[in-house]
Amino acid sequence: MIMDFASLGLDNLSKASHKKNGIMKPLYEHIEEIKQISYLLAKKHDLLKFRDIIDALADWHDIGKLNPKWSIDNDKNPPHSALSAYMYLNHSENFDPILFYLILKHHSHLKLEDTCPSPPKCREILRYIRRATKETKFEINKKANYIIKQIYSALVQLQEKLNDLNLNVVYADLFGIFKTADIISAMFEKDNVIFEEIASFSKSQIESNIKEYIRSKGLKFDQNRWRIFCKMANTKGDVLLTAPTGWGKTFASLTIALNRNPRHIIYVLPTITSIRKMKDTLSKVFNCRVEENYYFADVEKLREGNESVVDFDMFISKSFMSPITITTLDQIILSFLHVGKYFLKRFHFRNSVFVFDEFHAYPINGLYILLNFIKKFNENFGYNIKSIFMSATSHPDLEKLINEYTSLVKFEFINEYEKKRRYLYNVEPSDITEDESLRAIVKKAEDCNVLVLCNTVEKAIKTYLLLKNEYNLKRMILIHSRFTYRDRRDKEIRLEELSRLPKGFVLVSTQVAEVSLDVSFDYLFTEVAPIPSLIQRFGRVNRYSNYTKSVNVSIFYPKDIDEGKRYPYKKEEIKATFNELIRLEDRIKNELILIKRFRENPLDLDQNELGEIKRYIEKWENDTKYFFSIDLTDNELNKLLKFRDTNTALIIPKCFRTTIMDILNSDEKYRLRRIKEYFTPVPIWWIIDSLNQDSIGEIGNIPVLLNPRFQYSHEIGYFDTEKLSGFLDQIDICQENALIY
């Protein structure tokens, strides 16, 4: 772009456009850096043939900063995006209506309603341009009608051009590349951009690293198993791998993924519980940058304490730029959906490999929409995404669903279960909170690491309090879903510490311990649950052995299943499972017996609900044209797609009101991220009940639960006082005026 800006009343490209730590960056340098970074990203994802689009975005997006009224030292500046778009509209040699819109909106979401060629919308854009040109040589008051016609014509052309969905995907991805480069340059981090190539890792190097890692765990490297990994890796296409817990599915999936020569490996977990531990494992195996990408990743970065680099690190962790990213299902789907500014992420999916760990634990609706998107973006838009699905308890009906959307190479090692009997159970008709049950837990805790699993949060809390106060157990942790992120993380760190100590600690938990808990316990006490859940629970016991001669699991019947309608499992299913376990109790010669029982029973897939999701996807396609952003609150996402547990929402406990207000009123740089540390998942019915009592408040649009029925404790989490009324004198309830952390 060569222009005489002075003749237009503008400053020249030597003007400072960005500043950091007193260092100024001229606009021409910023533009050049954007191009350099964008070219590298575009080449990596096979989009470099569209470099003319990147060039135009880089050249024009910040021209509005050449307005003499705009200065890097001003506290408040005229809007530069509007002036940039106006200059592009009037002075570009090859006008492109999509680029006009992207330049106009390059600091915003891409909203469909902003492209309507109507007089009100044109006047709105005109007002925006007027603000940008006020009191300048090129003030536009006298040309208002002409400019409205220009804007209207541009929007009409834009509507026509956006009918090409293939082109829309390309433009959206190029815009994501451009904005990524723009942010990195604005951060003065051009030299720190991550361009490590996964292809540079050799099989022999990875094999050596895996061997070393396994030795560090006190285990023996299985050379025959490694040969199986390599054989699977040499196949083509997507893979579905079913094998027992502790078999080595993670290392197998990474070996397969590497052989696909991916741009990125994106490892998807069903919960955030083990993300930090998985990051540590993968970093050791690959010797490269491994990043976390999930809802609380920015909070985790702040807790690491290195605020001198935290901005850039948080940006990297929120993208999929690292060679390996560990993430959760919601982040993948939000990126496909283009929620907010998720256009910064989706382009990284091109030519990448997704590893879906324990996919059976994903919400069915989330898995279904994921499969739809992967198929569409592969078949229609050439994304070339490869997928690896892994499970210890895969079901044929779920495999059939996946196979409808991708052609799978299946590797089933369920016969490995026939060689294993890592657990033997006994069935107890008593409740887990009865005296005899609790005494058994205490006895085992004398020389064993014990896991106690309850079906509800209140039952887990009750069991924990009884063990602590009535039976004087000391080395004990309680973990469930209703802790603040901060408290939950601290408990997980404490669990890691205890698991490395000699025998004799107890973890009391709920279903959150079923998946991705990489700790091997000596004994499990559990309430009866559906068979797939029990198989996952059994997988937490004796993980690194193949056989046991003695009972190491006790299964109890929950008497409270008759007390309320909000029990997490159907009463009929629990009773049927309990009776089946009694029948099989003396017949468990190996683990395959229970696995077969699970696989023989049909999976309850709600076809009507899946049909609703499909209709939503079709509506999304019509509304967004694969280009525009959408705005959805967490509650709406929860309702439509059921990413999280289907009956929960995030809330701030009332005891943190003062803390939240202090953070909001402070000059702290990362206020909103620090506030997220206090978010806590609670049942939806708590919210509904509280709304009826006007017990929901807000602080800066952040929901706060005020209902006195529900209280928070750092030790036991959020709980229902009515269900734990007999234990209130044993609970240190969090007080609002207390010093928090």
Looking at residue 234, its pLDDT comes to 93
**Last residue of a domain, which of 128, 162, 192?**
192
Please indicate, yes or no, whether residues 211 and 180 belong to a single structural domain of this protein.
Answer: no
Q: Report the CATH number at residue 25.
A: 1.10.3210
Looking at residue 741, its pLDDT comes to 42
Q: Are strands 16-20 and 23-26 parallel, antiparallel or unpaired?
A: antiparallel
**Greater model confidence, 602 or 722:** 722
How large is the average pLDDT for residues 111-129? 89
CA 316, 319, 322, 328 torsion: positive or negative? positive
Please indicate, yes or no, whether residues 432 and 324 belong to a single structural domain of this protein.
Answer: no
Please indicate, yes or no, whether residues 371 and 505 belong to a single structural domain of this protein.
Answer: no
Note whether residue 404 is domain-resident: yes
Looking at residue 739, its pLDDT comes to 43
**Greater model confidence, 670 or 642:** 670
**Last residue of a domain, which of 573, 589, 605?**
589
Please indicate, yes or no, whether residues 72 and 169 belong to a single structural domain of this protein.
Answer: yes
How large is the average pLDDT for residues 390-412? 92
Place of tokens 């069915």: 364
Please indicate, yes or no, whether residues 404 and 485 belong to a single structural domain of this protein.
Answer: no
Q: Report the CATH number at residue 258.
A: 3.40.50.300
Note whether residue 595 is domain-resident: no
pLDDT tier, 295 (very low <50, low <70, confident <90, very high otherwise): confident
Please indicate, yes or no, whether residues 251 and 333 belong to a single structural domain of this protein.
Answer: yes
pLDDT in tens, 264-274: 999 999 888 77
State how many domains the chain has.
Answer: 4
Please indicate, yes or no, whether residues 466 and 401 belong to a single structural domain of this protein.
Answer: no
How large is the average pLDDT for residues 42-70? 95
Note whether residue 724 is domain-resident: yes
Complete DSSP assignment for 303-341: HH--TTSHHHHHHHHHTT-SSEEEEEHHHHHHHHHTBTT
* % of residues, the chain, pLDDT over 70: 94
Q: How far apart (Å, rounded) are the C-alpha atoms in residues 256 and 250?
A: 10
Average pLDDT along the chain: 88
Query: What's the DSSP call for residue 246?
Result: T
Please indicate, yes or no, whether residues 239 and 289 belong to a single structural domain of this protein.
Answer: yes
Looking at residue 157, its pLDDT comes to 95
pLDDT tier, 167 (very low <50, low <70, confident <90, very high otherwise): very high
Looking at residue 288, its pLDDT comes to 81
Looking at residue 214, its pLDDT comes to 85
**Greater model confidence, 251 or 302:** 251
19 within 8 A of 72, measured Cβ to Cβ: yes
Note whether residue 607 is domain-resident: no
Looking at residue 330, its pLDDT comes to 86
Looking at residue 427, its pLDDT comes to 96
pLDDT in tens, 538-547: 988 987 788 8
Looking at residue 357, its pLDDT comes to 92
Note whether residue 35 is domain-resident: yes
Does residue 2 have a pLDDT over 70? no
pLDDT tier, 738 (very low <50, low <70, confident <90, very high otherwise): very low
Looking at residue 615, its pLDDT comes to 87
Helix (H, G, I), strand (E, B) or coil at 615: helix
Please indicate, yes or no, whether residues 41 and 65 belong to a single structural domain of this protein.
Answer: yes
Note whether residue 625 is domain-resident: no
pLDDT tier, 639 (very low <50, low <70, confident <90, very high otherwise): low
Residue 648: CB atoms within 10 A of its CB come to 18
How large is the average pLDDT for residues 146-166? 93
How large is the average pLDDT for residues 630-634? 69
How large is the average pLDDT for residues 157-186? 95
pLDDT tier, 3 (very low <50, low <70, confident <90, very high otherwise): confident
pLDDT in tens, 199-246: 666 778 888 888 888 888 777 888 998 999 999 999 989 999 999 877
Note whether residue 630 is domain-resident: no
**Last residue of a domain, which of 411, 432, 464?**
411
Please indicate, yes or no, whether residues 429 and 336 belong to a single structural domain of this protein.
Answer: no
Does residue 428 have a pLDDT over 60? yes
Looking at residue 98, its pLDDT comes to 97
How large is the average pLDDT for residues 652-664? 91
Please indicate, yes or no, whether residues 323 and 405 belong to a single structural domain of this protein.
Answer: yes
- Residue 63's Cβ-count burial label (10 Å; 0-12, 13-18, 19+) is buried
Please indicate, yes or no, whether residues 504 and 435 belong to a single structural domain of this protein.
Answer: yes
Looking at residue 637, its pLDDT comes to 58
Note whether residue 624 is domain-resident: no
Domain hosting residue 723, numbered range: 647-730
Give 243's contacts (C-beta < 8 A, 6+ positions apart). Answer: 249, 252, 390, 392, 411, 413, 414, 416
Most confident among 1-5, 101-105, 127-131 (mean pLDDT): 101-105
How large is the average pLDDT for residues 261-282? 87
pLDDT in tens, 338-395: 888 887 899 999 999 999 998 988 888 889 999 999 999 999 999 999 999 999 888 9
pLDDT in tens, 493-514: 898 888 887 788 999 999 988 8
Backbone angles phi, psi at 324, to 5 degrees: -130, 130
